[in-house]
Copies of this chain bind each other. A is one copy, B any other.
């Protein structure tokens, strides 16, 4: 078994209203010094050792990411 993390973030040129709302809320709550926030998704997968990087890439690209507006990164993490 291996643990895999897939991070999915909105592309830089895509507006991120959730992140902008957080920046606004931070200012109202008195937390200064945060100039930008972008919100994405993090998936933690438990996979068999038979699942190779090609399959992981397809899982990330075809199921977990909307590639029109999002980028993804796949990384295996130590247990």
Which A residues form the contact surface with B (CB < 8 A)? 1, 7-9, 19, 22, 25-26, 29, 31-48, 50-51, 55, 58-59, 62-64
Contact = CB atoms under 8 A, between A and B. Distances in A.
Contacts of A33: 47-48, 50-51, 55
Contacts of A8: 42
Contacts of A38: 43-44
A35 B40 contact: no
A26 B62 CA distance: 10
A45 B36 CA distance: 6
A59 B43 CA distance: 22
Contacts of A37: 43-46
